[in-house]
Structure 1
Amino acid sequence: MAEYPVIADDEALDAAVSALAAGEGPFAVDVERASGFRYSQRAYLIQIFRRGAGVFLLDPPALSHFDRLQELLSTEEWVLHAASQDLPSLRELGLEPPRIFDTELASRLLGHERVGLGAVVEDTLGITLAKAHSAADWSTRPLPQSWLEYAALDVLHLIDVYEILTRELAEQGKTEIAAQEFQAVLDRPAKPPRTDPWRRMSGLHTLRGRRALAIARELWLTREELAIAQDVAPGRLVPDRSLIAAIAADPDSKRALGAVKDFTGRASRTEIDRWWAAFERGRTTAELPRERVPGDTLPPPRVWADRNPEADLRLKAARPAVEARAAELNMPTENLLTPELLRRVAWEPPAQMDAETIGQALLDAGARPWQIHETAQLIATAFVDSVQESDDSSEAAS
């Protein structure tokens, strides 16, 4: 097994930057987090590979700054796999790519059936990567050498994969498509904070009444506060199902709460005072949450025929056309045009249903120019046909 030292002080980082500077070509970059173990999404290991330099494994919590590294990394393209997952953690450290190549996204655009890193490496290079530590707690210190080898292999082959996928994109005429998609990943703004994030608790739908929801809200907020303070994933303190079970049990005292069999989790009893205080706040607050909250999400397509028959006809006419075009382009339909974008323009189309106005509506909703080029006319034609079909049905009925 190869030995991979971890760069854990600024002097070693400076030496790594000098070595990377002596290499050539793009940088392969990957990040290991501790999702499911820690509250934060911070990077606990950064892997960088460059031809002529080798693999470098960085321990971000142990390093004080990344200014010189960023200066070097800003000179060349970065190759990542599933870049949207890693970029937030890297940006938190001040590491920002000038441009990227995403091997997962490229594989999707090329119509590859398997797009996980191991599958892409195997399909392109014939090399099998062990994924034994993919769900490990990367905040562990010291990191076992077997984990470090696994992490190094995640970037060691990425440049070879990048070159093969680049050729495939050119052969399929998708180089510009990929470039627009990669740029969209870079430009995508961070998601705004959710309104009432506690409403995403698993099992919340089983509770009845606004008072029960108020207790759920207080328990969720209390758990969130504790999780942040301890930097522990909330579900590892007390899982959602345990909070819901406690509410359903309707305990009349702290002791009764502690006796609820399904109220489990490593902090369920050690923090019993905290949970009971949340119960009491939920039971006494005058600020009761509404049972249903209006949102900007569209109703599910299965109810469109009753709620908006014209939109239902438009969607049913346009969807097969978009799916057929995706098949012709040898890519998943959701990469050609996400179902949400198609549903939005079908639900509330522009007054003038031609390719130009449909294209503008798609652009306003976040579609890329290549997606509009491939789908706007198809959608416009389908919408017009659906109007004709509706008219014909009306005449037949009369």
Structure 2
Amino acid sequence: MTVHFHEEDLPAGVLADGPVAVDTETMGLITPRDRLCVVQISDGNGDEHLVRFAKGSTYDAPNLKAVLADPSRVKIYHFARFDLAAIAYYLGVVAAPVFCTKIASKMTRTYTDRHGLKNLIEELLGESISKQQQSSDWGAPELNDAQREYAASDVRYLHRLRDILIERLAREDRLELAQACYDFLPARARLDIAGWADQDIFSHE
């Protein structure tokens, strides 16, 4: 298991075929204001790749964009809504089709309100991760070892979680409904960017 660090783009040919786990680190939670700093990606075979974008980056990352935009590759996220918005706004691609472990958790683990990635990993995989670096400065000129490990851990477990959650969705007869949610997520991300992040446009209000 190795964490690979890259500047500005993903090297060609480093990922195996099939689904990829994806996450992002930004300067904050408001997409147009808080720039994209890191994209993490893994093919599930034991290595994680971190692509860092420096201040002033043009986000010209053709290899990374090709993987993210590939319609034959499922992208596995935890809270895909946020990552899709950041990727669309800064990299200019729709990183779909989608599987979101947070949505799958909410649709299957209805016995709890604890749907964070740390909670999922602890319950479903019996392992533990640290979230200490979650609010650290991702725009710093250098990322320290703790930040790199944190970023890698956010994609390290997603393939295994997806396998378990698919089984649970099937057991509860919610696979089709979950897929409909995933299919809508790119539009949900566009609504967030366009200014409807905090409004339910489907509400009667």
More strand by share: 2
Q: What is the one-letter code of the residue matched to 2:41?
A: I
**Could you tell me which residue of structure 2 aligns to residue 190 of structure 1?**
191
CA distance in 1, matches of 2:160, 2:76: 10
Supply the AA of the counterpart residue of 2:127.
Answer: I
TM-score (norm 1): 0.45
Q: Which one-letter code corresponds to 2:67 in the other structure?
A: L
Alignment match, 2:7: 8
Alignment-derived partner of residue 83 in structure 2: 86
Q: Secondary structure at the match of 2:43?
A: strand
Post-superposition Cα deviations, 1:235-293, rounded to whole Å, max 9, x if no partner, equal: xxxxxxxxxxxxxxxxxxxxxxxxxxxxxxxxxxxxxxxxxxxxxxxxxxxxxxxxxxx
Offset, 1:80: 0.3
**What does 1:37-186 correspond to in 2, within 5 Å?**
40-52=33-45, 54-61=47-54, 64-73=59-68, 74=70, 75-91=72-88, 92-110=90-108, 111-113=110-112, 114-186=114-186
- Unaligned segments of structure 1, at least 5 residues: 195-296, 298-337, 348-398
Q: Take 1:24 and 1:193, find their aligned partners in 2: how far apart are those partners? A: 36
- State the aligned residue count: 193
Q: Give the fraction of aligned pairs with identical amino acids, expressed as a percent.
A: 25
Given that 1:34 and 1:41 are in contact with CA atoms closer than 8 Å, whether structure 2 keeps it comes out as yes
Q: How far apart, CA to CA, are the structure 2 residues paired with 1:24 and 1:55?
A: 15
Tell me whether 40-49 or 77-86 shows the greater mean CA deviation. 40-49
Deviations 1:136-159 (A, max 9, x none): 111112011111001101100100
Distance in 2 between residues matched to 1:177 and 1:40, nearest whole Å:
33
Equivalents in 1 of 2:167, 2:191: separation in Å? 32
Measured in 1, the distance between the counterparts of 2:30 and 2:93 equals 24
**2:28 is equivalent to residue 35 of structure 1:** yes
After superposition, the C-alpha distances for 1:335-380 in whole angstroms (9 at most, x for unaligned) are xxx8x73xx2xx8xxxxxxxxxxxxxxxxxxxxxxxxxxxxxxxxx
Q: Which runs of 4+ in 1 moved over 6 A?
A: 36-39
**AA paired with 1:104?**
K
- Per mean C-alpha deviation after superposition, the further-off stretch among 80-89 and 32-41 is 32-41
Aligned-partner SS, 2:14: helix
In the other structure, the counterpart of 1:324 is: none
Q: 1:128 to 1:63 in 2, by over 3 A?
A: farther
Q: Which structure dedicates a bigger proportion of its chain to helix?
A: 1
**Structure-1 separation of matches of 2:75 and 2:31:** 27
Residues 72-96 of structure 1 show CA distances to partners (whole Å, capped at 9, x for unaligned) of 3313000001111111111121232
Of structures 1 and 2, the one with the larger relative CO (CA 8 A, separation 6+) is 2
Post-superposition CA distance 1:170-210 (Å, at most 9, x none): 0110000100111111222324448xxxxxxxxxxxxxxxx
Q: Name which one, 1 or 2, has greater alpha-carbon Rg.
A: 1
Q: TM-score, normalised by structure 2?
A: 0.83
Q: How far does residue 54 in structure 1 lie from its aligned partner after superposition?
A: 2.0
32-41 or 146-155: which moved more? 32-41
Write the distance in 2 (CA, Å) between the matches of 1:63 and 1:51: 29
C-alpha displacement of 1:35: 1.0
For residue 20 of structure 2, give the secondary structure of its aligned residue in structure 1: strand
Shift of 1:68: 2.8
* Residues 131 and 107 (structure 1), Cα distance of their counterparts in 2 relative to 1, 3 Å cut: same
Structure 2 portions without partners, runs of 5+? none
User: How far apart are the structure 2 equivalents of 1:38 and 1:96?
Assistant: 15
Q: CA–CA distance in 2 between the matches of 1:140 and 1:94?
A: 23
Shift of 1:19: 1.1
Corresponding residue SS for 1:76? coil
Is the partner of 1:79 in helix, strand or coil? Answer: strand
SS at match of 1:48: strand
